[in-house]
């Protein structure tokens, strides 16, 4: 089970709920983390809040304020879509599908490893 708001971050979703600028509250704050003076002296971290749902997104992925604003809006749009649509959201469905793919890949790798181990054992028995 995927917690709904952690499923955001997928880029292929086309069927998301729209956001209007009137519903958003935007702030620019100093970022945190590594980067020293470049991070500590510039207000390029974007904090975006969707007022009706109360969802807050903080984005400090790049040094550019404009890029951070764009990325924050994309992430917020996905989270709002998840908030209102829940398991019917495309973002949630994509996350579930990618998890299923990952599990299948792990299963196949495990089977291959087991086959190799069995093959080596058979070779050892033939040598004796």
Give residue-wise pLDDT tens across range 2-53: 444 444 554 554 567 777 788 899 999 888 777 777 777 788 899 999 999 8
Q: What is the pLDDT of residues 74-88, one digit of tens each?
A: 889 888 888 888 788
How far lies 14's CA from each of 33, 75, 77, in Å?
Answer: 32, 13, 11
Cβ atoms 100, 85 nearer than 8 A:
no
Measured CA to CA, the distance from residue 65 to residue 84 in angstroms comes to: 28
Whole-angstrom distance, CA of residue 109 vs CA of residue 116 = 11
DSSP structure class, residue 4: G
Residue 57 predicted with pLDDT over 80? yes
Q: Which sequence spans correspond to the domains of the chain? A: 21-85, 89-127
Higher-confidence position of 114 and 79: 114
What pTM was estimated for this model as a whole? 0.62
Mean pLDDT (the chain, rounded): 83
Q: What is the DSSP letter of 52?
A: T
d(CA 59, CA 33): 12
Considering the four listed CATH numbers 3.20.20.300, 3.30.160.20, 3.40.50.300, 3.40.250.10, the one that applies to the domain covering 21-85 is 3.30.160.20
**pLDDT average, residue stretch 97-119:** 94
Residue 107 pLDDT greater than 60, yes or no: yes
The torsion angles phi and psi of 67, rounded to 5 degrees, stand at: -65, -40
Predicted pLDDT at 2: 44
pLDDT at position 62: 87
Answer whether 111's CB lies under 8 Å from 87's CB. Answer: no
Q: What angle do CA 35, 36, 38 make, to 5 degrees?
A: 75
Instruction: Name the DSSP letter for residue 22.
Output: G
């Amino acid at each position: 089970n995927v917690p709904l708001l952690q499923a955001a971050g997928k880029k292929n979703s086309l069927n998301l709920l729209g956001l209007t600028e009137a519903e958003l509250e935007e702030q620019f704050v100093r970022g945190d983390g590594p980067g020293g003076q470049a991070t500590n002296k510039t207000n390029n971290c974007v904090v975006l809040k969707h007022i009706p749902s109360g969802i807050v997104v903080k984005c400090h992925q790049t040094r550019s304020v404009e890029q951070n604003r764009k990325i924050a809006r994309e992430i917020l749009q996905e989270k709002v879509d998840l908030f209102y649509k829940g398991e019917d959201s495309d973002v949630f469905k994509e996350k579930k599908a990618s998890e299923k793919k990952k599990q299948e890949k792990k299963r196949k790798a495990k089977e291959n490893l087991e086959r190799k181990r069995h093959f080596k054992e058979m070779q050892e028995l033939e040598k004796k």
